[in-house]
Amino acid sequence: MPHLVRFLIRHALIGVGLGALFVGTLVLLDVARLGTLMTQSSSGLIALIVLICAVGITFGSVQMGFAIMLMGDDEETPGKGRRARAHAALMKPVLARIRSRSGATGHEFHRSRHL
């Protein structure tokens, strides 16, 4: 299995576990009488399963998003191939001459070229 797929599955499972822990805490602490409602209702088990699934999907998605956004780029290693060399050549500073309105040459300075 590719490394990135394992990475995403691992973080999705972490999020689902955190979601199940969160729902368990809500039920055990009886927040908004949720635990009491589930124990006294005939369909309390179904409600618990649905709540765990919904919160697990939410927490799993958020955990995957955090993991992807925190991966970062390794900007110190240069790219390879023709495109990376062309990009590096384009980002070199070049000299530009500044002329005043009278046509006299002024100071020179460096300016980067952009695409």
Please indicate, yes or no, if residue 64 is contained in any of the structural domains.
yes
Closest CA to 93 of 71, 68, 72, 113: 113
Confidence at 115, pLDDT banded by 50, 70, 90: very low
Q: pTM for this structure?
A: 0.61
Task: Kindly state whether residue 115 falls inside one of the protein's structural domains.
Answer: no
Would you say residue 86 lies in a domain? no
In a domain? residue 33:
yes
Residues β-bridged to residue 2? none
Domain that holds residue 40: 3-69
- pLDDT recorded at residue 108: 46
Residue 69's φ and ψ, nearest 5 degrees, are: -70, -25
pLDDT score, position 51: 97
Q: Residue 66 CA to chain centroid, in angstroms? A: 5
Other beta carbons within 10 Å of 60: 21
Model pLDDT, residue 95 = 79
What pLDDT does residue 88 have? 64
Domain total of the chain: 1
Residue 44 included in any domain: yes
Helix (H) or strand (E) holding 52: helix 44-69
Residues 61-87: tens digit of each pLDDT: 999 999 999 987 656 555 566 666 666
- Is 28 domain-assigned? yes
Q: Give residue-wise pLDDT tens across range 22-55.
A: 999 999 999 999 999 999 999 999 999 999 999 9
In a domain? residue 53? yes
Examine residue 11 and state whether it is found in any structural domain, yes or no.
yes
Position 98 scores a pLDDT of 76
Between helix 3-28 and helix 44-69 the angle, nearest 10°, is 140
Q: Are 71 and 64 in contact (CB under 8 A)?
A: no
Q: Is 81 exposed, middle or buried (0-12, 13-18, 19+ CB in 10 A)?
A: exposed
